Chain A
Amino acid sequence: MLDLLKGPVLTVQDFFILTGTAVRNIFRSPHYSDDIVLQMDAIGVGSMPIVVLTGFFSGAVMALQMSRALAQYGQVGRTGMIVAISLVRELGPDLTALMVAGRTSSGIASELGSMKVTEQIDAMRALGTDPIQKLVTPRLVAAAVMLPLLTIIADFVGIFAGWVISVFFLNVTTRQYWSSAWRALVWNDVAQGLVKPFVFAFVVALIGCFYGLRTTGGTQGVGRSTTQAMVTASVLIFVLTYFITQIFLYASSAQM
């Protein structure tokens, strides 16, 4: 029984060691700012199209679905509120993180995994660079900056899509839509909507790096790491979003 648990516990421990080292490296020289910019471009700008598309269609589908339920109470005018709250609090951060995880975590895992199996990571250490400093920390910093920004973009595009649906299909006026959307949002929502992507950035970047750097067993191993990274990152995003929501609910109820 103890032996069964040993593996997973050691893995989690290794992950936290990597997280600690990567975070500590932010404050230690040498800083590889070129790599940070490069990763920001790859993670942030590169993910823009898929984030805009998912944001748009999730906002549109929310407006369509919710309008049916709201129609039963004669409250179709409040579609804006439902779309805004569900996007800013939940769907925006989750879907953005999932899309970026699918794209970036797997990409990082396969890139670092290939470097591992071709001994490039060892070569890096042999030639005087710390792979965590050079490879992991820039990816973490880039993700932590870009993921909240991508989420904001997804939120706006989603709310905009909700407006398009409301005005053209649901006979809601522009004014009605935007004022209900605007009034629905309180600081707690916005805070929650920005804390989530920040936490997910750690998951997306570090899970990819973690599985990449652990790769063994040639090209087959790279494939395995890539899948593992993507699956683990996606599941963790769902688990963490639940706990963050709980914490915010608890905190806001404690205030009252």
Chain B
Amino acid sequence: MADPAPPILRFENVSVVFDDVTALSKVSFEARQGESRVILGEAGSGKTVLLKAALGLVKPTSGKVYVFGRDLTTMRERELFEIRSKIGMLFQESALFDSLTIEENVAYPLQNQKSISCPPDQVRPRVEEALKFVELGGTLAKFPSELSGGMRRRAAIARTVVTNPPLTLYDSPTAGLDPITAYTIMELLIKARDVAQTTTLLVTYRYQDGNLVANFRYNSEQGRLERAHNGDLGNPRTTFMALRQGSLIFEGDQHSLEASADPYVNKFVKKHS
């Protein structure tokens, strides 16, 4: 059967081994255009490594990673820069550059990714637009250390989406935040997904984050999230995945996730429902 749209991201039997520790073992999956994938797993289950492998930051020990149809595993670091410019990544703990102001941080991908080639006079308007998007207007001249954890996370989201990447990866965006701030962050992620129709991978250990991604959408007129009616999010929709000790033990939609008999999978669902 001919497939009209190749997957945006494709893992083929990917294993990552550090010294003696297996971080990922034989993970295979595909993410299609516009799809959201929620990856659940405990600490140390290989969630972060999976995202880093999708960016080419970590080289798989075996297996293949395809992004936009190109095999990352055979590429050199300099070739990878072009692919990475089409991927937005939000790191755990934000990973903003301490020595740069918020403005310089958000401008960083515009100025340093060669394939983006943003004209210098466009940088500032785009930075301002991205910061307005995350509702962080007057912080341009501040340093990351002057902001609270939630604000840093928002600035990092601005840096992630400033280049309008078609694929975005979020590594535990709500970790260590209070419930209200966490909700604001999730709102921003869903807004970024629905405004730009991006393919999204969200790594988390909180089931309610996944629930928001799967069932809510951003209403741009009212400027807030609203519950989507069944099937209203369109096709393809949200797929849940669960990782345990580097292995993919579950892949499916929310119904089958909630119906799963696996105690490990159940733990995520039960704990937060």
Contacts and interface: CB of A to CB of B under 8 A. Distances in A.
A4 interface: no
Given A118-B93, A119-B93, A126 B98 contact: no
Interface stretch (A95-103, A127-135, A160-168, A191-199): A127-135
A188 interface: no
Contact of A129 (B89, B91, B95, B112): B112
Interface stretch (B39-47, B77-85, B191-199, B219-227): B77-85
Nearest to B91: A119
Interface in B62-114: 77-78, 81, 84-85, 87, 89, 91-93, 95-98, 108-109, 112-114
A126 B167 CA distance: 13
A197 B72 CA distance: 42
B271 to A, nearest CB: 27
A123 B93 contact: no
B93 A127 contact: no
A41 interface: no
Contacts of B57: 122, 125-126
Contacts of B52: 122
Please classify the interface of chain B as helix (H, G, I), strand (E, B), loop, or mixed, using the class held by over half of its residues: mixed
Contact of A126 (B55, B78, B93): B55
B95 A128 contact: no
Contacts of A130: 77-78
A126 B84 contact: yes
B109 A127 contact: yes
Nearest to B77: A130
Nearest to A216: B18
A120 interface: yes
Contacts of B77: 125, 130
Contacts of B98: 114-115, 120
B85 A128 contact: yes
Contacts of B87: 126
Interface residues of A, number: 14
B95 A120 contact: yes
Contacts of B114: 128
B97 A123 contact: yes
A128 B113 contact: yes
A110 B217 CA distance: 43
Given A120-B98, A122-B52, A127 B91 contact: no
Nearest to B81: A128
A118 B144 CA distance: 13
A130 B77 CA distance: 8
Nearest to A123: B95
A126 B91 CA distance: 10
Contact of B84 (A118, A120, A128): A128
B113 A122 contact: no
Nearest to A127: B109
Contacts of B55: 125-126
A130 B89 CA distance: 17
Contacts of A125: 55, 57, 77, 84
12 contacts: A114-B98, A115-B98, A119-B91, A120-B98, A122-B95, A123-B91, A125-B55, A126-B84, A127-B159, A128-B116, A129-B112, A130-B77
Interface of A: 114-115, 118-120, 122-130
Interface of B: 52, 55, 57, 77-78, 81, 84-85, 87, 89, 91-93, 95-98, 108-109, 112-114, 116, 159
Given A115-B98, A127-B109, 7 more contacts: A122-B57, A122-B91, A126-B91, A127-B112, A128-B81, A128-B85, A128-B113
